[in-house]
Chains A and B, each alone.
Chain A
Amino acid sequence: MSVVTRRATLGALAMPFVARAAHAATGRVVVIGGGFGGASVARALHAGAPSLQVTLVEAQSTYIACPFSNHVIAGLRPIEAQIFDLSGVGRAGVTVVQAMATGVDPVAKTVSLQGRPTLSYDRLVLSPGVDLNDAALPGYSEAAAQIMPHAWKAGAQTLLLRAQLEAMPDGGVVVMSAPANPYRCPPGPYERASLIAHYLKTRKPRSKLILLDAKDAFSKQKLFQQAWAALYPGLLEWVSLSDGGKVTSVDPANMTLTTDFNVQKADVANVIPPQRAGAIAALAGVADRSGWCPVDPITFASKLQPDIHVIGDAAIAGAMPKSAFAANAQAKVCAAAIIRALDGATPGEPRLLNTCYSLVAPGYGISVAGVYRPVAGVLTDIDGAGGSSPLDAPPDMRAAEAGYGEAWFRAITAEAFG
């Protein structure tokens, strides 16, 4: 007796478990984007219901991780430590297709691919990450990024910014610009400022770093500012929104950044522009006017296209930040919800965690954590849980958190990529 027949027979008994199983056996789930969210959801779907047909579509042949790429910029880590591929996801039982997804038809339930046959799905998951919204920053463009790198997608941009810092003479001025919320990795610009300051302090101590910010407040602010005052006094200057920090245009030909009050000249300029969900989200009709994707906080199903789920940076996930940890946590909740839905069952209310470590100097780590639950349709912080590392922690706790950050990177990349 074949497995299929046996399941069908049991299904006829209308046992809830078996009915689900028979259903799951015919499900086709396509995942677009093989980063932290997409690789994790593909693996979790296969592990949760091996009978599902799971196909992961990723445009790039290798994945270059952003977490710890600030360490690469500061010369603390080789870029090789950031490079992953999807062969482990393939070995785990997921069909991996290397192609750019160019369109989604939510009615026919198909995904068109560049140079490959169209895929059909019962459920689609999008985890396309972010696109840089250059149009929102006059003067910025892909060409401008070759002169004023963003380094907000890791790879050539990371190495370009590192090379520019290395080529800059001592006494130079580095200018960074941080965008308004929301954007990928809320503490990322401040970790980067810290590690660039560390590089300047140890290699080019007469230089200066100016961080122009479109915000008055940021993640782990007190901890960062405490560390900056202790480690980088006079070297790192943060200019808040109220102090005129918002960059309104950039001019790569003259190496200037314009704010409401000032024109700032730079020897090295790191421009982190505004962002939005990866382009495929808008093509699939799951992005709203904000450029991001509203989702149900229990299933991560799009509020605009219910058979399409959106996770990771592209999703509007309430209080959850756009982090690799969050993308991975959402992936596992989304996978469980999809399996349930394909089985005709209703998923229960989830709870999700986030943890983000930042390094402010070698051996000096800080963290922020959160626990989230849906409240009135929005993922909301649970009061009294989470929060930042204590301000008055002794040096051995900072050292421990620096070590935990590295351990986290090994864990999350192992879980996503195998």
Chain B
Amino acid sequence: MRLALFLTGLVLPGLFLPGLCWAMEAPPGASSCSGCHTGASGAGMVSITGRDSSELTATMEAFRSGARPATLMNRLVRGFDPDEVKAIAAWLAVQK
């Protein structure tokens, strides 16, 4: 974050930096999500980018606990601990 601000201050071409960040900063596991959640899928496989990150985290934790019924997300969320889920949600929140 601090680096990004610093570089923006130096008037780095705007187009260039976000792309680089996108690839660099994806936390482990996050880039797999778009194998289903592209926004092109429909039928309940919702788009998950650009959403509030705490809402996303809460949804994923509800899948883990079973509070929210799921067919498959309950099986996937168990591959991540709560901090890892938070990191993924924070990254997804700033993706388009």
| Interface residues of A, Cβ cutoff 8 Å to B | 3, 6, 10, 15-18, 20-21, 24, 44, 47-51, 325, 328-329, 332-333, 335-336, 339-340, 348-353, 355, 367, 369, 371, 373, 382, 384-387, 389, 397, 400-401, 403-404, 406-408, 410-412, 414-415
Contacts and interface: CB of A to CB of B under 8 A. Distances in A.
A371 B78 contact: yes
B60 to A, nearest CB: 13
A400 B32 CA distance: 21
B42 to A, nearest CB: 6
A16 B2 CA distance: 13
Nearest to A367: B72
B40 interface: yes
Contact of B71 (A373, A401, A410, A411): A401
Contacts of A389: 71-72
Nearest to A338: B23
Contacts of A17: 3, 7, 17, 20
A312 B30 CA distance: 19
Interface of B: 3, 7, 10, 12-13, 15-17, 19-20, 22-24, 26, 28-29, 31-38, 40-45, 71-72, 75-80, 84
B36 A336 contact: no
A348 B28 CA distance: 8
Given A15-B7, A412-B36, A329 B44 contact: no
B43 A403 contact: yes
Nearest to A329: B32
B57 to A, nearest CB: 17
B61 to A, nearest CB: 15
Contacts of A47: 19, 22-23
Contacts of B17: 17
Given A332-B31, A387-B75, A415-B38, A351 B80 contact: yes
Nearest to A388: B75
A381 to B, nearest CB: 9
B10 A352 contact: no
Contacts of B79: 351, 353, 371, 382, 385-386
Contacts of B33: 353
Contacts of A335: 23
A316 to B, nearest CB: 19
Instruction: Label chain A's interface by main secondary structure.
Output: helix
B44 A414 contact: no
B42 A407 contact: yes
A50 B35 contact: no
B29 to A, nearest CB: 4
A371 B64 CA distance: 14
A369 B41 contact: no
A38 to B, nearest CB: 15
A353 B7 contact: no
Contacts of B10: 10
Contacts of B76: 353, 355, 369, 371, 385-386
Contacts of B32: 329, 332, 351-353
A328 B75 CA distance: 20
A407 B43 contact: yes
A108 B46 CA distance: 46
A379 B73 CA distance: 21
5 contacts: A50-B19, A332-B34, A367-B71, A369-B72, A408-B35
A43 to B, nearest CB: 11
Given A325-B35, A414-B40, 10 more contacts: A333-B31, A335-B23, A336-B24, A349-B28, A351-B79, A353-B76, A353-B79, A385-B80, A407-B36, A411-B36
B7 A18 contact: yes
